Amino acid sequence: MKKIFFYITIVMTAVIIHSCKKDLNEVNLFFPALNPAKLDDNAGTWKPILLNAPDEFAVAAPIATNAPDYIAQINEIKSWQNKLTAAEKNTVKYWSAGAVLRWNEIMRELVAKHNLPPYQNADGTYPVPSAANPLAYPQFPFANPPYAARAYAYVSAAMYDALVAAYHYKKLCNRPAPYKVDATVNVLIPKSDLPSYPSEDATVIGVAEELLKLLFPGDQDFIQQKAAEHKNARIISGANVRSDIDAGEALGKAVAQKFVTRARGDRAGAAVGIANGVDLWKEFETNAVTKDEIPWISQEFPKRPPMLPYFGRVKTFLFDSLTMVTQIRPAAPPSTKSDQFKKELEEVKYYSDNYDRERFRIVSFWADGVNTPTPPGHWNAIAAEAFVKQNFSEVRWARNMALLNMAMMDAAIVCWDAKYTYFNPRPSQVDPSIKTYTGLPNFPSYISGHSTFSGAAATILGYILSSSATDFTNMAKEASVSRLYGAIHYRSDIEVGLVVGNKVGTYAVQRASTDGAGN
Amino acid sequence: MKLLFRYPVMGRIPIICILLSLLSITAMAQTDADAIMMEKNNFCTGILYNYSSWKNYWEGTFKRDNANLGTVSTQMIGVMGNYGISDKLNVLFSIPYVANKVSAGQLHKMNGVQDLSLWVKYMPFEKKVGPGTLSLYGVAGYSFPVTNYVADFLPMSIGVRSKNISIRGIVDYQIKNWTATASATYVNRSNITIDRVSYYTTEMHYANEVKMPDAMQFQFRTGWRSDRFLAEAVLSNWTTMSGFDITKNNMPFPSNKMNMTAVGVGGKYNVKAADGLSIIGGGNYTIAGRNVGQSTSVYGGVFYIISFTHKAKEKQENTKK
């Protein structure tokens, strides 16, 4: 009897040790401090996106490093450092991984939080989020994939332009970092020869503050708290004095305004396709019927209007609308009456009927559905993890993120244009016995958004990091086929989507090869 | 009638291996919290079928239905067993096959063998107190997934994949045929891994690992039991110690706060013609919940007791005299 208890005790102890709760290994919290391999101190000469010139917005000349005001600012650093808490050290460590990186993560978090379709009204209609009243249900925005792609693009592009301007002024003003001026200042992050006025981190903060007001107007408390924490981290770490921060933040905000103006006029506001209670988007349905095709019909109950039907008319970054319609828009999908269509439908049915755990893993890994940062957010995470290993300077981080996200925003526009031009039904609409392994998106099938985003992302990332190009291509293929495995897309949707995405990506490559940044 | 099992004092009623489908949203199988022990060297085994379904569910505290799911139903067939190492020490196992489907919308049904549960049950105390008999039990359990089923596809997932350690205390009091049993269980749940590399709870997590909230389970049951019949009413509660609410119109997530309270009835009949054979049945209805479906369930099962030693039987016969 005693023996039994002895064994039981041993087994239970082993079991308890085995399943004790561990803290999560959240990869982004292990990113090392950014220590750029190249200074990129000539980035002031790189080609901006919207700015006419790097000095379009003026930055006042900095005060001299022997001025009493400057010495007071040095003392601000020293007094922080004299009473450094563990929490402050952690904050410094967190932000030291990079400004563009961290604000990209914050944006992904905001997208995930807001990526929820509104719940229906009692009468079976759906409310539309209002930017004017962002905290009322349904909260603004509904950060679906097109919305997210556009948000990532504006913020990334503005960060790049603002940093081109900041690097221009850094070189011009040439004020060294506080620890170079006063050797008794501790420095808690890797030292740099880059002039510190205006602060590159604060430039990024200024852009984020200004643009996120427009894109996530209900989250100012969160954004301002992050901004304050980031600015403090720069001072506490000894990287910047207060006037570096102030000048950078002001420059970032000024440059961001130019992007805010563009965003207000890029036609995204009309993308929802409902005006004064009229479903303008029904024209797409009529168009499909006129062509004697089966039109897309919402499979949701109650029927939900399709996602952002006029997003295809949003102003692109990398090419003009004529190029889009004549050079990039794909040819029509197989007719819903064709044998090819029947064949492709059968293939979807096969994947629906034959559950496979590995295929499910792929579907799940790339699903990026509700409450996630969306497929463009996933590609931002992929890029971020790859870029961390490269030790890019802040301005190169921004440039690469801008290229990636402009490509994905334009991919969203091209993809949405195709979806509503052809208004093709989803497989489960045509054959209701097709059941899906992921949520069925509420918009037309052709071409696959995941495939278009992924094709564009893999192309530009493969250019930026040519040694990983094959990996990116394989990831894009897997993301693409995941939609067929999930039984929500036909083969034409995913294959054409990848090709179109790749094509969009080449416009980003074209820009990258001529922007003066080199590679 | 040969008696191959024992119940304290009144003793001689067949075991019930009640499987309570407590969290129908995750089809989590919960085995018995009863106050019955197998005698030494006896093995009770059987199968149990449970059907549960829900149309309404709680999204946080907001109760709603969802025309894109219709009715979510779970069928479960469990195999279970209970072996008497001694009269006071039993080991138990259960392993269910679970199949989930929806009546509307497009989500694909899911099915498979879920988690293997193992328990050690010990009765340290059994005495006449006042007009009846008081007995105390301690149960330690461990469960783990035995197949590579998917956790992160709720409400279609057949389980949530955590490895659970449970510690349960049971108090039972019986006056003649009238009984009351109360139990409390603490369930420690391990982290799980999912197929994606980031997820949002109330904040973003860049990990494929998810921290699961621990849970408490309470049960009170009372009724009438004799050698041949058992009828009881059951009140059950499952409360997660942390976790977060499903936000409006969001999908459920394995680490959601999931609470529920259910009322039910259960019964058992020992077949006169076949010694050691018993039939059980019952049902449960969810009266309150949070981030779970308001499920109604019915179950039925057949159990049989096998004695492994002739000697043990003789001993029981002698005890009877």
H/E/C letters for each residue in A30-71?
HCCCCCCCCCCCCHHHCCCCCCCCCCCCCCCCCCCCCCHHHH
Count contacts between A and B (CB, < 8 Å). 126
Average pLDDT over residues A467-490: 98
CATH 1.10.606.20-classified regions of chain A: 27-60+93-264, 288-512
The total number of residues shown for chain B amounts to 321
- Which pLDDT tens digit goes with each residue over A110-164? 999 999 999 999 999 999 999 999 999 999 999 999 999 999 999 999 999 999 9
What is d(CA B151, CA A399) in angstroms, rounded to the nearest whole number? 39
For A350, A428, A439, B108, B125, the CA distances from A436, given in Å and listed in that order, are: 11, 8, 7, 5, 54
Average pLDDT over residues A479-486: 98
Q: Are A235 and A189 in contact (CB under 8 A)?
A: no
Q: Where are the beta strands (DSSP E) in A340-492?
A: none
pLDDT reported for residue A17: 53
Chain B residues inside the 8 Å CB shell of A119: 248-249
pLDDT reported for residue A380: 98
Chain A residues inside the 8 Å CB shell of B105: 299, 301
Q: In angstroms, how far apart are the furthest CA atoms of chain B?
A: 68
Could you tell me how far CA A171 lies from the centroid of its own chain?
30
The residues near A191 (Cβ < 8 Å, ≥ 6 apart) are: A177, A179
The residues near A99 (Cβ < 8 Å, ≥ 6 apart) are: A200, A201, A204, A205, A230, A394
Average pLDDT over residues A388-398: 98
Structure tokens at A164: 């081109």
Pairing of strands B72-84, B42-54: antiparallel
Average pLDDT over residues A34-47: 97
What architecture is domain A288-512? Answer: Orthogonal Bundle (1.10)
Average pLDDT over residues B98-110: 97
Q: What are phi and psi of A331, to 5 degrees?
A: -65, 165
pLDDT reported for residue B275: 87
**pLDDT band at residue B126 using 50, 70 and 90 as cut-offs:** very high
- Interchain contact B199–A (C-beta under 8 A): yes
A27-60+93-264 fold: Vanadium-containing Chloroperoxidase; domain 2 (1.10.606)
Instruction: Examine the pLDDT at A38 and tell me if it is beyond 90.
Output: yes
- Which pLDDT tens digit goes with each residue over A447-460? 999 999 999 999 99
- Interchain contact A381–B (C-beta under 8 A): yes
Average pLDDT over residues A105-110: 98
What is d(CA A170, CA B210) in angstroms, rounded to the nearest whole number? 44
Instruction: Examine the pLDDT at A19 and tell me if it is beyond 80.
Output: no
- Interchain contact A367–B (C-beta under 8 A): yes
Cβ atoms < 10 Å from Cβ of A326: 8
What is d(CA A482, CA A364) in angstroms, rounded to the nearest whole number? 8
Q: What are phi and psi of A475, to 5 degrees?
A: -60, -45
pLDDT reported for residue B19: 30
- Which pLDDT tens digit goes with each residue over A256-270? 999 999 999 999 999
pLDDT reported for residue B21: 31
Q: Inter-chain contact B190–A365, Cβ cutoff 8 Å?
A: no
What is d(CA A58, CA A43) in angstroms, rounded to the nearest whole number? 17
% of residues, chain B, pLDDT over 70 = 86
Closest CA to B43 of B82, B97, B94: B82
Chain A residue with minimum CA distance to B213: A21
pLDDT reported for residue B287: 97
Chain A from 404 to 443: CB within 8 A of any B CB: 428, 434-437, 439-440
Domain boundaries, chain B: 5-320
**pLDDT band at residue B20 using 50, 70 and 90 as cut-offs:** very low
Owner of token pair 């959601």: B256
Structure tokens at B319: 């005890």
The 3-state DSSP class for residue A394 equals: helix
- Which pLDDT tens digit goes with each residue over B213-241? 999 999 999 999 888 999 999 999 999 99
**How close, in Å, is residue B121 to chain A by CA atoms?**
11
What is d(CA B212, CA B241) in angstroms, rounded to the nearest whole number? 10
What is d(CA B238, CA B262) in angstroms, rounded to the nearest whole number? 9
Owner of token pair 């949203």: B25
Angle at B149 (CA atoms; ends A358, A477), nearest 5 degrees: 20
Average pLDDT over residues A486-513: 98
For A34, A383, A408, A468, B208, the CA distances from A389, given in Å and listed in that order, are: 10, 10, 22, 12, 21
**pLDDT band at residue A23 using 50, 70 and 90 as cut-offs:** confident
B36 compared with B130, residue with greater pLDDT: B130
Element (H, E) at A348: helix A339-353
Instruction: Examine the pLDDT at A1 and tell me if it is beyond 60.
Output: no
Chain B residue with minimum CA distance to A429: B106
Q: What is the dihedral of CA A398, A403, A409, A414, to 10 degrees?
A: 180
Q: What is the mean pLDDT of chain A?
A: 96
Q: Are B80 and B70 in contact (CB under 8 A)?
A: no
Chain B residue with minimum CA distance to A4: B85
- Interchain contact B152–A (C-beta under 8 A): yes
Interface confidence (ipTM) of the complex: 0.94
Chain B residues inside the 8 Å CB shell of A369: 251
**pLDDT band at residue B25 using 50, 70 and 90 as cut-offs:** very low
- Which pLDDT tens digit goes with each residue over B277-314? 999 999 999 999 999 999 999 999 999 999 887 554 44
**pLDDT band at residue B47 using 50, 70 and 90 as cut-offs:** very high
Instruction: Examine the pLDDT at B17 and tell me if it is beyond 80.
Output: no
Average pLDDT over residues A323-343: 97
The total number of residues shown for chain A amounts to 519
What is d(CA A382, CA A454) in angstroms, rounded to the nearest whole number? 11
B182 compared with B28, residue with greater pLDDT: B182
pLDDT reported for residue B15: 30
**pLDDT band at residue B27 using 50, 70 and 90 as cut-offs:** very low
Q: Are B13 and B51 in contact (CB under 8 A)?
A: no
Instruction: Examine the pLDDT at A316 and tell me if it is beyond 50.
Output: yes
The 3-state DSSP class for residue A249 equals: helix
Q: Are A34 and A394 in contact (CB under 8 A)?
A: yes
Q: What are phi and psi of B31, to 5 degrees?
A: -90, -170
**pLDDT band at residue A3 using 50, 70 and 90 as cut-offs:** low
Q: Inter-chain contact A19–B164, Cβ cutoff 8 Å?
A: yes
Instruction: Examine the pLDDT at A194 and tell me if it is beyond 90.
Output: yes
Q: Inter-chain contact A365–B68, Cβ cutoff 8 Å?
A: no
The CATH homologous superfamily of the domain defined by B5-320:
monomeric porin ompg (2.40.160.40)
Q: Inter-chain contact A435–B89, Cβ cutoff 8 Å?
A: no
Chain A residues inside the 8 Å CB shell of B207: 24-27
- Interchain contact B87–A (C-beta under 8 A): no
pLDDT reported for residue A21: 57
Chain A residue with minimum CA distance to B121: A8
Q: Are A123 and A261 in contact (CB under 8 A)?
A: no
Element (H, E) at A156: helix A145-173
Pairing of strands B115-129, B132-145: antiparallel
Average pLDDT over residues A399-422: 98
% of residues, chain A, pLDDT over 70 = 96
The residues near A225 (Cβ < 8 Å, ≥ 6 apart) are: none
For A205, A366, A464, the CA distances from A470, given in Å and listed in that order, are: 34, 18, 12
pLDDT reported for residue B311: 52
Strand partners of residue B125? B136
